[in-house]
Structure 1
Amino acid sequence: MLSMDKLLEKSESLNSEFSRIFDYGPADESKRVIASWIMCLVGLEHSVSLRQLALNGNYTSAICIMRSQFEAVTRATWLFYSASEAKIENTMKTLSELSQNADQKPSNNDMITQMKNKAPEQAVLMLTEFRDTQWKALNSYVHAGVHALQRHGHGYPEKLIIDIIKSSNGLLSMTAMMAAILTGNTMIIKDVSKIQLRHKDCLPVLLSD
């Protein structure tokens, strides 16, 4: 198993390769594509922030931000594959008291449900798996529940933080794949799989298989 320092080093290399995808830009300027593309950028930012927090020993905050990272890639995928035209229009309106209400529905779980038979099956599987295994604990951290109290009070096992970083890298991989799809370039989509193979030791098992 990689040490945390080595994992963080390798994770930066993974991030560097995936970040280059965003240099290509989206395939077109449609509101649906742009909305999903922007949300991919949000997910990328969360990934970078999580590793910086972990590097500085701010583990509670790092875990909290992983839920935001998960929600960003979920919404990016949902916006492209499943959101209604009305929802896209509301999402892309100039921010106002009225348009901010566009975020209230659907819930994260509803978005995943709506993506079934629309988004790639593997993407839905990974989002479902992540939510089933991580959501309850992440909510506890975000809402200052017992997980945050106990872990912050008694210390974080290194293996837990290693697993968190790998999970975040998995979400980063999903974000990169979504961004690659949005470029419309099949070669970039294939490159994502190659990058995953090169960095499989810093990815969760579901992605590195």
Structure 2
Amino acid sequence: MNRTLIETDSLSKSIDQLLAHKGFSLDNRKICAVGSLSSSLEYHNAILILCEKKKYGSSIALLRSQFESFIKGTWYFHCASDEEIDDVYNDKLNKTFGSILSELKSQDVSAWEDNLLIKNQFWSQLCGFTHTGAPQLGRRFKDGNISPNYSDELIESMLNLSNLLAFKTLLEMLLHVDEHVPKEEIVQVISSNRMLKDLYNDGL
């Protein structure tokens, strides 16, 4: 698990470095999209910090928020109508997360299949960790004492999913920057993480 933590830290720093001093020409749509995407990246960093402090329950609880922020930021830019953006901006949007994912699918937004797979396979567990359900409660004790009981396999899987979401969030954010980002800079981010190197071995 230590290696995964080190790679997560390296990925987070690589993303921060790539985005540093990047400009965004902001209108209401981009404020909603970029704001949500940047929140997702902050959750990724918070998950890392909590894991380093061995606060595993709190770290996993943030994974749903990281995923949601990424999906919503993507939807704001690619799918939301002007009226819906106004509703988001004024905190009046009334739309389910499932319908947002369905619209990403219907408009064939890049990699929507991966996002739907994450929703279908992990959503109930993510909600359980976030809302202190059974997945969270059962891991609060060890040998009858209050002590974290999260397996290394679970933590590594959580970090890998968080890292994948962070990279996908980065790719989405780069659609909004004012300047061209050379592919070599993105490849450098990939090289910071073993899982990403395996996934993107054949290129972006």
- Measured against the shorter chain, the TM-score band is 0.7 to 0.9
Instruction: Give runs of aligned pairs for residues 96-115 of structure 1, distance below 5 A.
Output: 99-102=90-93, 105-115=94-104
Instruction: Label 1:73 to 1:189 Cα distance change in 2 as closer, same or farther (>3 A).
Output: farther
**Counterpart amino acid of residue 137 in structure 1:** Q
Partner of 2:14: 17
Contact 1:176–1:192 (CA under 8 A) maintained in structure 2: no
Deviation at 1:120, TM superposition (A): 3.2
| Alignment gaps of 5+ in structure 2 | 143-148
- 1:24-48: CA deviations, max 9, x gaps? 122x222212211111111111011
Deviation at 1:141, TM superposition (A): 1.3
Contact 1:47–1:168 (CA under 8 A) maintained in structure 2: yes
Partner of 1:192: 186
Instruction: Label 1:39 to 1:62 Cα distance change in 2 as closer, same or farther (>3 A).
Output: same
Partner of 2:194: 201
Within the candidate set 111, 121, 143, 2:110 is matched to 121
Within the candidate set 38, 41, 47, 1:41 is matched to 38
**Counterpart amino acid of residue 195 in structure 1:** V
Instruction: Label 1:64 to 1:46 Cα distance change in 2 as closer, same or farther (>3 A).
Output: same
Instruction: Label 1:192 to 1:125 Cα distance change in 2 as closer, same or farther (>3 A).
Output: farther
Instruction: Label 1:204 to 1:79 Cα distance change in 2 as closer, same or farther (>3 A).
Output: farther
Partner of 1:66: 63
Contact 1:173–1:192 (CA under 8 A) maintained in structure 2: no
Partner of 1:140: 128
What is the SS of the residue equivalent to 2:132? coil
Contact 1:67–1:138 (CA under 8 A) maintained in structure 2: yes
The root-mean-square deviation of aligned C-alpha atoms, in Å, is 2.2
Partner of 1:8: 5
In structure 2, what is the Cα distance between the partners aligned to 1:183 and 1:39? 15
Which one has the bigger helix percentage? Answer: 1
TM-score where L is the length of structure 2: 0.85
Contact 1:137–1:147 (CA under 8 A) maintained in structure 2: yes
Instruction: Label 1:53 to 1:203 Cα distance change in 2 as closer, same or farther (>3 A).
Output: farther
Instruction: Label 1:12 to 1:148 Cα distance change in 2 as closer, same or farther (>3 A).
Output: same
In structure 1, what is the Cα distance between the partners aligned to 2:116 and 2:201? 17
Contact 2:23–2:179 (CA under 8 A) maintained in structure 1: no
Contact 2:164–2:196 (CA under 8 A) maintained in structure 1: yes
TM-score where L is the length of structure 1: 0.84
Contact 2:75–2:104 (CA under 8 A) maintained in structure 1: yes
Query: What is the aligned-residue identity percentage?
Result: 21
2:46 is equivalent to residue 55 of structure 1: no
- 1:168-204: CA deviations, max 9, x gaps? 00110011011111115453566435522x1341449
Within the candidate set 167, 170, 180, 1:176 is matched to 170
Partner of 1:96: none
What is the SS of the residue equivalent to 1:100? coil
Contact 1:77–1:119 (CA under 8 A) maintained in structure 2: no
Contact 2:22–2:179 (CA under 8 A) maintained in structure 1: no
